[in-house]
Structure 1
C-alpha cells in the first residue's frame, strides 16, 4: 500500500508546480491539511521535493536533475507542447526563494572571493579583462555552435585576424561578445540589471546578426520557437513586456550575487524576451552581479554544452532547474579557480613580497616550525607586531598564507627550512612528506 509520501510524489511528478491545496485534493483527499503539510515539509527536507514562493503562491516540484534526465528520455517531438508558465516567475520571492541552496551559495562565495584585500569596484574586472574577453567570447560562442577554437578566438580579438575558412557570422559573433563584455566592464560602477543595460548588451551581441536590425536591443513582437524542445514561448508582445519588467524588478531585489546571476541565466532564456540571442544575453548579463561584487567571473569555459542545453530544456518544459544548477555550479568553480590564480597575479603581491618581505618569511617559518599549520589569528597578531598598517594587514597575511600553501622541497631555501622541517605539515593544499 502506497504511503502519503509516495502519493504526493506521484501527483507532483504529473502536476509540477502544484500548490498545497491542489496536492491535497489530488494526492491525499482523505488527509487533513496538517497531515499533508507535514508530508510536504518532510519531502522537502529529504531533498525529494523543491519548493518556491510563499503563502498562496507556494509551489512544489520534484527535486533534482534526475527528473529532467528521465523526462528527456522521450524524444522532444513526442513530448506534449508546454506553454510559458507565468507562475514560475510569480512564485519567486527575492531573498526568500532560492534556486541555489545556502550551502551552494557559501561554496561559490568561497571559490569566487578574492585572494587578499578588496579592490575598488571594477579594478579587478579591468585587470582580467583581456583574458575574460577571450574566454567568455569563445565559450559563449561555442555554446551556440561556433567552430572557432580558443586560439583562433584570441587572434581575432587581440589582432583582428579572422580564421580562414570560417563563416563571417562566426567571426562577428565573437567580436560582438567582445564589445558586450567591454561594455559591461567599462561601465561596471553604474551598470545594473535594468532595461537600458540589458538592451545595450543585447544590441551589441546582435549587431549584424539579425534579419531585422531594428530588433537589436528591443523586446520581440513576433512568435519564436525553441529548437529541440516542446516548449512554446509567449507570443503576445504586451505580455512579454509585462513579464520582462517583472523579471527585472525581481532580479534587482536579489541580494546574493550568485543567486542573482543564476536567476538571470535562467529567466531570460525562459521568457525568450528577444527575437534571438537570448542565451548569449543571459550569459554576459549573468556576470554583471559577480563582477560588481568583485568576485571571479563566470567564463563558461568548461561548461558541458549538452548538459547546459538539457538544463535549459528541463527549465522550459518542467520548470525544473536541477541540471542547469548543476552545470552552473560546476562551471563556476572551474572558472573561479582560474581567475582566482590570476587575481593573485594581478593583485599587489609584489608589495607584500618587497615591503613586507621579512614578515612573510617569518610567518611561513613560524607556521612550519611552531604552529605546524597556518593560524590566521596568530599571523594577524604577528603582523601587528611588525607594525603592518591595519588596512593592509589582511591582504599581507593572505599573501603569506598563499606562500605557505605553495611550500615544497624545491622552494624551502627561501624560508631557511629543510625537508625534515616540513615532514607531515598540512598546508591546506596537500600534506608534505
Structure 2
C-alpha cells in the first residue's frame, strides 16, 4: 500500500490537478478503483495531497508550503495579475472538503481542549476574557503595523492609558479590538456566524479608522488593491454580495470548529468584501467557533507575521492554503496551553463551598472515616439532620461528592484528614 501511495504522489507531482481516473491509470493501472480512492483519501487526510472540485471534477495536487514559497521568490510586480476565482469557494463542500487535515484537527483539538469537564457555554470565554483582550488586541494590531508593545497594550486596555509618542490611531485600533472581542464574548450564546455578526464585528473594528464612516459594517462598493501582491479582488458590488453570502452559508454548515475557524481566515481576506479591515475581521471572527465549542482561542500571539502574510498571498495568487495552514497550526499549538490552564481556575466558588462549608466537611469526613465510601442516600439523610434547607440539599450532596472524589494525600488536610485515613477508602 505504501508503494501505491508513493506512486500516486510521484504521478501527481509531475501532473498537478490530475483527476481520479487519470491517477488510477497512470500511477497504478493494475489496482482497483476503490483501492486508489482509499489511498487518495489517506493522502489527503495526511496532508500530502490537496484536493479541489467535486464529483467528476475532483482534482489533486501535491500539498505543501514549498510551492507557495517558491512562487513568492518572484517579486510581486513581476508575477502575473490574478483575479478573484469563484471556483475556489465553489469547490469547498462543507462536511466533505477540508482545508485542515484530520491529523491537523486531531492535534489542534488535543491542544485546545481545556482542563476540566464541561461547563456552561460562555463561562470559559468570560474566564479568559481579560487575558484574551490583551493578547489578541496586541497581536492582531501588531500584524497591521501597530507599534504598541504588549505592556503598553495592557495599560491601554485596563487603564485607558495611551503610550506617549504614538499615533492616536494605534490606540484606536487596539481599543476597537477590545470592543469587538467583548461583543463576541458577551453575545456568544446568540452569535451564529450570520451576516449581521460579521458586520457588527467589522463595524466595531473599523470605528474611527475609515475615511468614510458609512462603510463600517457594510460591504464595499468600490475597488480595492492588495499591497505587495499581484491579486486583484472583485470590483463588482453585486458579485461581492453574492460571494459573501456564500461564505457565510458555507461557514455555518461546517461542523468542526477548527475547520470552521480556518475557513473564515481564508475566505474573508480572499474576498476582501469590506473596504478595509478584512484581515482583522477574519482574525477576530475566527475565534467564534472555538469559544462556542469551549476550546482555547487563537490569540495570534505566537504567529510569525511575515509568514502569515505570505500564507495569505499564497491564497490570493494560487488559491493554495498550505502555507497559511502550516503557520496557523504551528501558532495555535504554541499558544493554546496558556488558555487551557486558565480553565482550571475556579470562576466563582460554589454556594455549598461557602454557605455550607462545615456541613460539607462533616459529610466528607464521615464518608472517609466511617462509611469508607460515598453513599448518597446516607449523606442526604445526614445533610437533612444538619438543617440544610430542602432547596439546597441536593446541591450540597453533589458538591460534597465531587470533593470526596477529588481527595488524595496532598489535599486531605482541607477536611482535617491525614493521608493514612484514605487507605482502604473507595473514592469513586
Please say whether Structure 1 and Structure 2 have the same fold, judged by a TM-score greater than 0.5.
yes
Q: Secondary structure at the match of 2:344?
A: helix
Q: Secondary structure at the match of 1:222?
A: coil
Stretch moving more, 85-94 or 392-401: 392-401
- Residue matched to 1:198: 198
- Residue matched to 1:271: 271
Q: 1:5 to 1:148 in 2, by over 3 A?
A: closer
Structure 2 residue 233 is the aligned partner of structure 1 residue 233? yes
Q: Which ranges of structure 1 fall in alignment gaps of 5 or more residues?
A: 13-17, 364-380, 405-413, 418-433
Asked if the contact 2:374–2:404 (Cα under 8 Å) also holds between the matched residues in 1, the reply is yes
Stretch moving more, 276-285 or 304-313: 304-313
For residues 252-331 of structure 1, the aligned pairs below 5 Å read 252-331=252-331
Asked if the contact 2:12–2:60 (Cα under 8 Å) also holds between the matched residues in 1, the reply is no
- Residue matched to 1:369: none
Q: Secondary structure at the match of 1:153?
A: helix
Structure 2 residue 19 is the aligned partner of structure 1 residue 20? yes
Q: Distance in 1 between matches of 2:361 and 2:305?
A: 46
Deviation, structure 1 residue 349: 8.5
Q: Distance in 1 between matches of 2:231 and 2:201?
A: 25
Structure 2 residue 13 is the aligned partner of structure 1 residue 9? yes
CA RMSD across the alignment: 3.7
- Residue matched to 1:407: none
Q: Distance in 2 between matches of 1:333 and 1:415?
A: 40
Deviation, structure 1 residue 395: 7.4
Q: Distance in 1 between matches of 2:268 and 2:122?
A: 25
Q: Distance in 1 between matches of 2:361 and 2:313?
A: 53
- Residue matched to 1:248: 248
Q: Distance in 2 between matches of 1:43 and 1:30?
A: 11
Structure 2 residue 213 is the aligned partner of structure 1 residue 209? no
- Residue matched to 2:69: 69
Query: Deviation string for 1:91-120 (max 9, x for gaps)?
Result: 111111111122221222222222112221
Name the TM-score, length of structure 2 as normaliser: 0.77
Deviation, structure 1 residue 60: 2.5
Q: Distance in 2 between matches of 1:415 and 1:304?
A: 51
Asked if the contact 2:9–2:62 (Cα under 8 Å) also holds between the matched residues in 1, the reply is no
Q: Secondary structure at the match of 1:224?
A: coil
Query: Deviation string for 1:307-329 (max 9, x for gaps)?
Result: 11111111111111112112221
Q: Secondary structure at the match of 1:133?
A: helix
Query: Deviation string for 1:240-285 (max 9, x for gaps)?
Result: 1111001000000111111111111111001111111000000100
Asked if the contact 1:202–1:281 (Cα under 8 Å) also holds between the matched residues in 2, the reply is yes
Q: Distance in 2 between matches of 1:308 and 1:176?
A: 22
Asked if the contact 1:116–1:399 (Cα under 8 Å) also holds between the matched residues in 2, the reply is no
Q: 1:43 to 1:31 in 2, by over 3 A?
A: closer
Q: Secondary structure at the match of 2:211?
A: coil
Stretch moving more, 71-80 or 27-36: 27-36
Deviation, structure 1 residue 301: 1.0
Q: Distance in 2 between matches of 1:397 and 1:244?
A: 53
Question: Number of aligned pairs?
Answer: 382
Q: Distance in 1 between matches of 2:110 and 2:402?
A: 16
Q: 1:91 to 1:169 in 2, by over 3 A?
A: same
For residues 108-123 of structure 1, the aligned pairs below 5 Å read 108-123=108-123
For residues 184-195 of structure 1, the aligned pairs below 5 Å read 184-195=184-195
- Residue matched to 2:143: 143
Asked if the contact 1:115–1:398 (Cα under 8 Å) also holds between the matched residues in 2, the reply is no
Q: Distance in 1 between matches of 2:75 and 2:194?
A: 37
Q: Distance in 2 between matches of 1:40 and 1:273?
A: 37
Q: 1:356 to 1:57 in 2, by over 3 A?
A: farther
Asked if the contact 1:140–1:300 (Cα under 8 Å) also holds between the matched residues in 2, the reply is yes
Asked if the contact 2:137–2:177 (Cα under 8 Å) also holds between the matched residues in 1, the reply is yes
Q: Which ranges of structure 2 fall in alignment gaps of 5 or more residues?
A: 1-6, 380-393, 411-416, 421-428
